[in-house]
């Protein structure tokens, strides 16, 4: 059993900041990439940022220079620092982990999602 638990969403004014966190727990053998996706109403889910087991990071063009992804390899957590937030960042943000459990199965796991609303 694997669980991804997110925290840190909320309402913020344009130009403000938020930090999202995601903790992974369960019968984990190894975690490969971890990332954050978002889905706005009426739109497809999109990759926002990702970080591999080798600390390589990826950012969507729309968030480069404003968002920073980080990972704690001991605690199995991933965070997303979001600065200079814009109304178009409003979405439900989902944590994702590409991981292998102790029986050898490798699969993508998802968190339940956390709402981020940027509005004045």
60-83 pLDDT, tens digit each: 999 999 999 999 999 999 999 999
Give residue 54's pLDDT: 82
Name the pLDDT band for 99 (thresholds 50, 70, 90).
Answer: very high
Residues 31, 76 contacting (CB under 8 angstroms): yes
Which residues are 50's β-sheet partners? Answer: 35, 58
Average pLDDT of the chain to the nearest whole number? 95
């Amino acid at each position: 059993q694997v669980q991804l638990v997110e925290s840190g969403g909320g309402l913020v004014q344009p130009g403000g900041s938020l930090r999202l966190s995601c903790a992974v727990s369960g019968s984990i053998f190894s975690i490969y990439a971890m990332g954050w996706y978002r889905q706005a109403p009426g739109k497809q889910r999109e990759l926002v940022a990702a970080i591999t087991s080798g600390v390589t990071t990826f950012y969507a063009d729309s968030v480069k220079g404003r968002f920073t992804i980080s990972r704690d390899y001991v605690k199995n957590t991933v965070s997303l620092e979001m600065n200079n937030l814009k109304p178009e960042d409003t979405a439900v943000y989902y944590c994702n982990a590409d991981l292998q459990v102790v029986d050898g199965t490798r699969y993508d796991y998802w968190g339940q999602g956390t709402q981020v609303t940027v509005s004045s």
